[in-house]
Chain A
Amino acid sequence: MILCLVEISDDKVADASLTAVSLGAKLAGENSDSLACVAVGEVSDSARKELGSYGVSTLYLASDSRLSPFAPAGWAKAVLAAVDSSGAKVVLGGSTDRSTEVLARASAKLDAAFMANCIDIKTAGGYQVSRLRWAGSVIEDAVVSDVPVAMFSVVQSELATPMVKETEVQLETLTFDIGDSELRDAVTEVLLPTGDGVSLSDSRIVIGGGRGVGSPEGFKVLDELAGILGASVGVSRVVTGLGWRPHKDQIGQTGTKIAPELYIACGISGAIQHMAGCRSAKCILAINQDRDAPIMSLADYAVVGDLHKILPKLIEELNAAGVKS
């Protein structure tokens, strides 16, 4: 049995979870095994159907309200209960913060292996795993010996899209004790966003500024361009380190990961930890005085020059053409 932890919100299964499910389906198919899922909270019919389209046979559900919105220890216990019930040997999850934490906690309890950010798993008397190091700049190939249970978080790579093998998803309710251990570090309060604009990670267009911007005041021209294009402004780690902008604006391995249609990187050299945060952008346009900065050979389009001369001209021409966000 292959078990997948899935996160469901607003009646939808999270994309990250579906990535894990699709790998689960592949493994199940390869090993003539069945595929189950575990979730905490509520699941709608549409979500169930979505899971069914991947060939999920069973969904283990823990619905105790005390586990919501997020009680990681309790969620881990739910996973362990599902492992117990299903006899699963492999547990997969999406590489979200939540799923990663839950699987790590669960594997800690079992003293089982947990490997994060896997891009491929093969089973053959043990596991051959490829996973990401250095936020994707290096790939690790490893083997895991044949252990009773192994857990993996899965990240989008060259995986297949859903195998349409429509199944009927059986619902199984999980019951287990929920006590102090499960609740002592549960989320106590959720503060919803004040709703001012689109977040950096959700923006369709992002403009990034790095050391080349030169100063906090230098960002004015980026903000202006962002206003015209309806974009968000993000920064490199150098900028936050200098205290010019807050960390919430930081794009990178330890900041926000973005996947916009267009990322315009201004005065950013392209250190690997920054590229880790923006390489999922569909299109990267880099503007830099340094013709040979690392980002210039990774970008789809490059312009060599001073951003403080190029951006004002760009803004001027966009304004002249009547472009507004």
Chain B
Amino acid sequence: MSGLPERADVVIIGAGIVGNSFAYHLAKLGVQRIVLIDKGPLPNPGGSTGHASNFIYPIEHSKMMTRLTQDSVRQYKELGVFTQSGGLEVARTEERMQELERRMVSALAWGEEAQRVTPEDIKKLVPYIDESVIIGGVYFPAVGVVDSLRAGTLMREEAQRLGALTVVGGTEVGDIKVENGVVKSVVTLDGQEIFADKVAICCGVWSPKIAKMAGANIPLIPTVHQMISVGPIALFADTVGEITYPIVRDMDTGMYERQHGGDIEVGSYAHRPITLQPEDIPSIEESAFSPTELPFTQEDFDPQLQDALQLMPELLGDEKAGVRHAINGLISLTPDGHPVLGETPEVKGLWSVAASWIKEAPGIARAVAEWMTFGQSEIDIHETDIARFYPHQKSKLHVKLRAEELFNKTYGIVHPAEQYASSRNVRLSPMHQRTSALGAVYFEAAGWERPQWYESNAPLLEKYKGSITQRTSEWDARWWSPIIDAEHIAMRENVGLVDLSSFAIFDVIGAGSLSYLQYMAVAQMDVAVGRVVYTPILDDQGGFRADLTIMRLAKDHFRIVTGGGVGLMDKKWFTDHLPEDGSVILYDATAALTTMGVWGPKARELMSKVTSDDVSGAGFRYGTCKNITIGNTEVLASRISYVGELGWELYVTSDQGAHVWDLLFEAGAEFGLAPVGIGVYGTTARIEKGYRAYGNELTPEYNLPETGMSRKTVKKEDFIGKTAHLSHRTKNPVALLCTFTIGAESLDGAKGAERRFPLGNEVILTTDGERIVDAKGRPSYLTSTGSGPSVGSQLGLGYLPFDLAVEGNVFAVQCMGRLYPATVAVVGNGSIFDPTNERLKG
């Protein structure tokens, strides 16, 4: 039946919206021999695309998701399958109304139109809403619906027309052969084999099952989302086409209602999470409808019936309108809510393009196609890299627990700093018992429980109350504490002790290690043993790939230290570039070592007390590292500081981490040592110093000069991204990263109004409220924000177009509907606190 070719450049498994888009984009980029396989029939093979509700709201808090959605809408429009309907998000509660305000800010940041509407306005747009049930809403004119099946067909046919694509339906994959960690071939159930350089898994809910055949892990879980279709709706009888009335998202009840021809489709994310394992998905023949349209469980939907009837009483209350179709539809959910994209860490050449919604699928497909072909994508999708998952995050249990928690948050009000409740306490620092006893409030990152602040420091609130800014708004104060500011002051006054065990640590060893790292890093790596190099890592286009420190421990032994959150992505990047002659090995020392930091004006005094090794300014210079003995334990001490204070990062073997902590803690009492959390380390202190963070300011989207981190000279040795970087240096950067101080009073000067605080991603506007976009189309927004207790101001980092990046220029950030002044304090590299780095280098 199938007639599979023998060889292909790329085999794509799965012909839903993702697979079809991916084939199309690869073909457009010039890939020649593409084979697309699906076990089901075309055009509707029975996956989630076939029953999706197909509407798109291009508004997200996430910049990446918004851009992918915007790109997808552009593509759908080009294909002629997009129908604009407009969309509403309505609020029944004040809390929801505030969230809608925040969504409007994000919409503004990413360039999407949004209008605040009253219940009366809403009634005019959607006459069948009972406006007495709602208190207001937001209208997004750009919302629309797409014919995703048709889109997929058109894209597939175009790829075929280019002569690049062979399509084989009704063929099920039974195995993926791998040799020496490289993908080799795909084998079908009926015994045909096709050899391929690359294989892409675009199988939606089936992806984990297919990946497992190759020994790879795609962490997603099929999850139910209920939908019913009610009709015939009398009001829709005279409308033409698929949709005339705007779509309504009734987010407080977790539901949406959209017209679909003569019916109204009502969907729900409010029911209990119902997850399945991919092995439990029925075959086409076993299903009454399709494999991803499972039998409807009425009891789960019943509570929502009331809510829907309340909002649309005449329409849905019409006894002549019946429930004509009802399903438990299957969609893919991931443990962190982002798609799972990229080359799998386990198998080279095996790519995952999974867990995408209709609304971003074509955009994702284009980005991954670019990534696969060129190594980078136009839209920065580094957050979706499949390499990001730590082993425990790929476990079925973790995926299930987190997906279940995320499901009901689909229309939820999620605070930007909100922590997960499930699957906690998995990775614990050796000092965990100590920090816990100190009342640490833990935030999780990469599975690690990291103290964000310590309740035991509460007495410092009184001591430093002059320097601490309280937040009166419950939302701004959520997942935050003024204790963070107090710890910050205590550290800058005396000394602080920071648990940094979440760092990912990789040792690079071997005769080829120097030349290898020279090629990987921007900075000069041929340094003396005992030097610490902070270096950007660039990609081919000169965009930021990573930001880390490398210590030279011996002639052929280096140690890389990077953030836990990006650890595995960085590991894959470094591993992928290892020389094939085996002259370099990379060893993951993360679990073997733990890290803590000792910083503050009294750090040297403290260290002198616990070690007899020379820690004087002359004896232990800034930017160097050496072994010292603290108590009875040998420790690698590194004189660097992300908080901009005198002090050291200490690397201790995990077994003795708690012991060293104890020694320092006890000895530090006389110096006023305070335990200091990541609230300081990762936000307040580093923003005062203007230190960038990967994922915030540093992303592939911005090049080195734009971040302000270019050095005076470029080393003569070659490195990844050198050519691009050199060309970036020849002209003015299109944008520049700046530090802002954010005023306490809003520009409209409303007296007595509650002060609001930016929490991240707030759009940066002109004082007239106009959006600011650079010549590459990149909007200005706060990439990081936090309080600056030592400088007495709220601070933020953000990019401005080159011409606007002038010290003293005043802009505005929007917090809860009001504009607060944002004044440029530093342009490019530089610190608003201790600008000459006296404290650091003493």
Question: Are the chains A and B members of one assembly?
Answer: yes
* A binding-site residues for B, Cβ under 8 Å: 288-294, 296
Provide 23 A-B residue pairs closer than 8 Å at the C-beta atoms, listed in order of the A residue. Answer: A288-B41, A289-B41, A289-B42, A289-B43, A290-B40, A290-B41, A290-B42, A290-B44, A291-B1, A291-B41, A291-B42, A291-B169, A291-B170, A292-B39, A292-B40, A292-B41, A292-B169, A292-B170, A292-B284, A293-B41, A294-B284, A294-B285, A296-B41
How far, in Å, is B768 (CB) from chain A's closest CB?
A: 54
Per-residue A-contact encoding for B22-57, CB less than 8 Å = 1, 0 else? 000000000000000001111110000000000000
Closest approach, in angstroms, between the C-beta of A298 and any C-beta of chain B? 11
Least distance between B788 CB and chain A CB atoms (Å) = 62
Taking the closest CB of chain B, its distance from the CB of A120, in whole angstroms, is 27
Min CB–CB distance A38 → chain B (angstroms): 43
List chain A residues, Cβ under 8 A from B170: 291-292
Q: Looking at chain B's contact residues, is the secondary structure mostly helix, strand, loop, or mixed?
A: loop
Report the minimum CB–CB distance from A246 to chain B (whole Å). Answer: 19
Chain A nearest CB, measured from B720 CB (Å): 46
| CA gap between A116 and B256 in the complex, in Å | 49
Residues 264-296 (chain B) with a chain A CB within 8 angstroms: 284-285
**Chain B residue contacts of A296, Cβ below 8 A:** 41
A290 CA to B285 CA in the complex, in Å? 13
Give a binary string over B361-383; 1 marks a CB under 8 Å from any A CB, 0 the rest.
00000000000000000000000
Whole-angstrom CA separation of A20 from B284 in the bound complex: 38
Bound CA–CA A294/B43 (angstroms) = 15
Complex Cα–Cα for A200 and B1 (A): 33
Encode B787-811 as 1/0 by CB contact (under 8 A) with A: 0000000000000000000000000
CB distance from B284 to the nearest CB of A (A): 6
Main secondary structure of the interface of A (DSSP, over half): loop
A310 to B42, CA, bound (A): 17
Other A-B contacts than A292-B39, A292-B41, 14 sampled, CB-CB below 8 A, are: A288-B41, A289-B41, A289-B43, A290-B40, A290-B41, A290-B44, A291-B1, A292-B40, A292-B169, A292-B170, A292-B284, A293-B41, A294-B284, A296-B41
- Shortest CB-to-CB span from B3 to chain A, Å, is 12
Determine the chain A residues whose CB is within 8 A of the CB of B169 once the complex forms.
Answer: 291-292
Chain A residue numbers with a CB within 8 Å of B42 are 289-291
Interface size class of chain B, counting residues whose CB lies under 8 Å from the partner chain: 10 to 19
Binding site for A on B (CB under 8 A): 1, 39-44, 169-170, 284-285
Residues of A within 8 A of B40 (CB): 290, 292
Nearest-Cβ distance from residue B206 to partner chain A, whole angstroms: 15
Q: Given the complex of chains A and B, what is the CA–CA distance between A289 and B169 in angstroms?
A: 11
A296 → B minimal CB distance (Å)? 8
State in angstroms the CA–CA spacing of A32 and B41 once bound together: 56
* Neighbouring A residues of B39 by C-beta, 8 Å: 292
Nearest opposing residue in chain A for B1, CB measure: A291
Closest chain A CB from B149 CB (angstroms): 11
Residue numbers in B under 8 Å from A293 (CB-CB) = 41
Chain A residue contacts of B44, Cβ below 8 A: 290
Contact residues in B for A288 (Cβ distance below 8 Å): 41
What 8 A-B pairs are tightest by C-beta distance, nearest first? A290-B41, A292-B41, A292-B170, A291-B170, A291-B41, A291-B169, A294-B285, A292-B40
A291 partner residues in chain B, CB cutoff 8 A: 1, 41-42, 169-170
Residue among B40, B41, B44 with the highest chain A CB neighbour number at 10 A: B41
Q: How far does the alpha carbon of A273 sit from the alpha carbon of B284 in the complex, in Å?
A: 16
Bound CA–CA A294/B40 (angstroms): 11
Bound: A296/B285 CA distance, A: 11
A254 to chain B, nearest CB (A): 16
Q: Determine how close the nearest CB of chain A comes to the CB of B219; give it in whole angstroms.
A: 29
B168 closest partner in A (C-beta): A291
Task: Write out the residue numbers on chain A whose beta carbons fall within 8 Å of the beta carbon of B41.
Answer: 288-293, 296
Cα of A288 to Cα of B44 in the assembled complex, Å: 12
How near does chain B come to A144, taking the closest CB pair, in angstroms? 32
Shortest Cβ distance from B157 into chain A, in angstroms? Answer: 13
Complex contacts, A294 vs chain B, CB 8 Å:
284-285
| Cα distance A133–B39 in the bound complex, in angstroms | 30
**Whole-angstrom CA separation of A289 from B153 in the bound complex:** 12
CB distance from A269 to the nearest CB of B (A): 9
Closest to B41 in A: A290
Q: How far is the CA of A289 from the CA of B50 in the complex (A)?
A: 14
In the complex the two chains form, what is the Cα distance from A294 to B39 in whole Å?
A: 13
Chain A residues in 8 Å Cβ range of B1: 291
Q: Which residue of B lies closest to A288 (CB)?
A: B41
Distance of A138 Cα from B240 Cα, bound (Å):
45
- Distance between Cα atoms of A288 and B169 in the complex (Å): 13
Closest chain-B Cβ to A154's Cβ sits at a distance in Å of: 30
Per the bound structure, the CA–CA distance linking A198 and B738 in Å amounts to 85
In the bound complex, what is the Cα–Cα distance between A294 and B290 (angstroms)?
Answer: 12
Closest chain-A Cβ to B326's Cβ sits at a distance in Å of 14
Docked CA distance A183–B284 (Å): 51
Which B residues are in CB contact (< 8 Å) with A290? Answer: 40-42, 44
CA distance A296 to B44 in the complex (A): 15
Cβ of B156 to closest chain A Cβ, rounded Å: 14
For residue B284, which residue of chain A has the nearest CB?
A: A292
Q: How far is the CA of A288 from the CA of B170 in the complex (A)?
A: 13
Q: List chain A residues, Cβ under 8 A from B43.
A: 289
CA distance A293 to B170 in the complex (A): 9
Q: CA of A173 to CA of B190 in the docked complex: distance in angstroms?
A: 65
Which A residues touch B285, using CB under 8 A? 294
Tell me the bound Cα distance from A318 to B238 in angstroms: 39
A296 to B1, CA, bound (A): 12
B151 to chain A, nearest CB (A): 16
Q: How far is the CB of B828 from chain A (nearest CB, A)?
A: 59
Q: Residue on A with the closest CB to B45?
A: A292
- Whole-angstrom distance between the Cβ of A79 and the nearest chain B Cβ: 40
Most chain B C-beta atoms within 10 Å of own C-beta, residue among A289, A291, A296: A291
- Give Cα A277 to B183, complex, Å: 48
How many whole Å from A200's CB to the nearest CB in chain B? 26
User: Which A residues are in CB contact (< 8 Å) with B284?
Assistant: 292, 294
Give bound CA distance, A232 to B43, whole Å: 29
Cα A289 to Cα B45 with chains together (Å): 11
B15 CB to nearest chain A CB (Å):
11
In the docked arrangement, what's the CA distance between A129 and B241, Å? 56
A145 to chain B, nearest CB (A): 36
CA A90 to CA B41, docked complex, whole Å = 50
A124 to chain B, nearest CB (A): 37
B347 to nearest A CB, angstroms? Answer: 28
Using CB atoms, name the residue of chain A closest to B42. Answer: A291
